[in-house]
Amino acid sequence: MTVLFGVFLLTLLVITALAIVRTQHLFAAVILTGVFSLLMAANFFLLDAADVALTEAAIGAGISTVLFLSALALTGEYERAGSTNRLLALGVVAVTTLLVIYATFDKPRFGDPEAPVHQHVAPWYLERTPELIGIPNVVTAVLGSFRGYDTLGEVFVVFTAGIGIVFLFGARRQRKPEALRSVIGELGEGLRHYLVPRVVGRLLIPFILLFGLYVQFHGEYGPGGGFQAGAIVAAAFILYALLEGEAQALRVLPTRVLTGLVAGGALLYGAVGVAGILLGGNFLDYSVLASDPIAGQHLGLLLIEAGVGITVTGVLLSVFHAFAGRGHI
């Protein structure tokens, strides 16, 4: 049954991808990428990767769509007709596809317990997480503690990308502060004159924030964590900006605060690592943070997840404002 659903979703994915390539209308292409991400999220969920599914749904289907739409406000609605060599492109794609299909013959069967991925380090993680970290969600344990360096690197990548985009786009704030035009039509003030979306949107924002906090702090027990929560919280503020206008959203969370969030989260993560050294352990070894190693691990995970969440929220909102604040050139 799972395989049937998987094949169904993957077929829809291929159809959506073809539609994205075929359409000349960039607006439709953006909405289709949202559809693509949602299908992908369903697929991840089918494969029991709930954490990834949550991220894909929040970032891929939610925030990227808004970011793409704000980017479309700066460019045009239609794709320019290209005169590139289509035969060459077709050849490259065909060869790559054949190679990938050939590679799948060596793959283990879907769900095969003998597959290398289930034989390598995964059993060790599954076995030792309860005694070393003491939390039910092994994904969070691997991500936050066992592979804490990787996640620190990811946070710094997000941080660097955010700074880069703010440098490229965010400099000209003084010229047109209220511009969010393509997303909501030619209205500088958000959806202020549309009663129904505004009332319902304002009603929903507190619940979205609450859900974001739940995902943030429940990450040790269920699917979730800093990346997902950051995206959800950012989505709540972006919804606010869409409803009330971008300028009003900047009044609520000024650029200075956003910059603080971007840097503060990464700083918090790094500081937890340094605190580990100062207390006599290794960098990013949380066991020394409290008298009991397991309590230390809990504290460390809580803090670094908070750092991840803060940075992701700050970066996503900064990127959104950088795009939306530019208006038409």
Residues found near other proteins in the complex (CB under 8 A):
23, 25, 28, 31, 184-185, 191, 194, 196-197, 200-201, 203-204, 207
**Is the Cβ of residue 143 or residue 236 nearer to other proteins in the bound state?**
236
Q: Nearest distance from residue 243's CB to other proteins, in Å?
A: 10
CB 129 within 8 A of CB 141: yes
Cα separations in angstroms, 103 against 90, 100, 265: 20, 5, 40
Tokens standing for residue 88 = 């060459």
Q: Nearest distance from residue 190's CB to other proteins, in Å?
A: 12
Q: Nearest distance from residue 259's CB to other proteins, in Å?
A: 32
Amino acid at 156: F
**Is the Cβ of residue 22 or residue 120 nearer to other proteins in the bound state?**
22
The radius of gyration computed from the CA coordinates of the chain, to the nearest angstrom, equals 22
Burial class (CB in 10 A: 0-12, 13-18, 19+), 240: buried
- In angstroms, rounded to a whole number, what is the distance separating the alpha carbons of residues 97 and 301? 41
Residues 6+ apart with CB under 8 A from 255: 170, 173, 318, 321
- In angstroms, rounded to a whole number, what is the distance separating the alpha carbons of residues 274 and 284? 7
Neighbours of 152 (CB within 10 A): 21
Pick from 260, 275, 254: nearest CA to 177: 254
**Is the Cβ of residue 13 or residue 28 nearer to other proteins in the bound state?**
28
**Is the Cβ of residue 197 or residue 260 nearer to other proteins in the bound state?**
197
Q: Nearest distance from residue 27's CB to other proteins, in Å?
A: 10
Q: Nearest distance from residue 201's CB to other proteins, in Å?
A: 7
Helix axes 293-324, 64-74, angle to 10 degrees: 20
**Is the Cβ of residue 23 or residue 255 nearer to other proteins in the bound state?**
23
Q: Nearest distance from residue 197's CB to other proteins, in Å?
A: 5
Residue 30, CB-side half-sphere exposure with 13 Å CA sphere:
21
**Is the Cβ of residue 124 or residue 207 nearer to other proteins in the bound state?**
207
**Is the Cβ of residue 39 or residue 268 nearer to other proteins in the bound state?**
39
Q: Nearest distance from residue 60's CB to other proteins, in Å?
A: 19
E strand segments, the chain: none
